[in-house]
Structure 1
Amino acid sequence: MIYPCLPRVNNRYTNTSLRGILLDIHLLSVCNYLVCTFSSQVCRSAYERMQPRYGDASGWFRSLDDSYHFFGQNPHHWKAVIEHTRRNYNEISFEIGDMINIAGNHWNGYSKGINVRTNKEGLFPTYKVKSVVERATMPTYPEV
């Protein structure tokens, strides 16, 4: 017997399927801490829905692969928290405090980037850098 509620490719574009994915995104967004893969649209959508809850949810998630991104965004800088010495020709070196402009995640523990201080491009271990959150001053509208 085939059960209509089980996920199947031919059920993907049904109202039930849409409600299911929306429920998944909602439930992920109300978690205390989100651990998922930012290569997934579902995960990134859940993270975006966390923003109103926390005001700034950048400390309430861990992506297992990619960094948060959207197309057309400004450059994403990371700050070196552990020194790295180049081990082969396709890696870059950096010192603690160096800013790294991320060019991509290789999903194997390494990312590609440019050391802003040296202007050198290459691979580096992702765990040795921390994302820099750039905050913008926003009006608070106290009269509302």
Structure 2
Amino acid sequence: MALQDPPATEDLLVAVREYLQEEILPNADQAKRVHALMAIKIMGVIERELSIGLRLEGEHEEALRSLGVSNEAELAAAIRSGSLDSRRDELLKVLRHTTASKLMVASPAFLDRAQKEAAAIAARQAKRADAAANG
């Protein structure tokens, strides 16, 4: 149960974002358009942080614990010391997930493009490997 009466924070952000997109952008000069687009992007980040941030934070904390550290400073120290060298695959999985989680909030469109590009690269590599094996 929320302390605040409706509308919820998320609803307020959506209303302001929609107003900027529908009312301000179509009539804005170039300078105001840039500022409105920046504000829209920031509101999107805040909306995503509110909607998925806690879940992603919990997943991140669990992933760090799986590596035997409790925060990113400890993770960095463990990487520098080489204590995670024997767990390289697990470490890379955690680092990839951490990066993807951050991009889910900050720039989901960039994450989507990066994932598609990575899949295309993997497909090309598999095709080359298959061609070499069947040579």
**TM-score interval w.r.t. the shorter chain?**
under 0.3
Q: Per residue, is there more helix in 1 or in 2?
A: 2
What's the TM-score once normalised by structure 1's chain length? 0.26
Larger Rg: 2
What's the TM-score once normalised by structure 2's chain length? 0.27
Q: Per residue, is there more strand in 1 or in 2?
A: 1
Structure number with higher relative contact order (C-alpha < 8 Å, ≥ 6 residues apart): 2
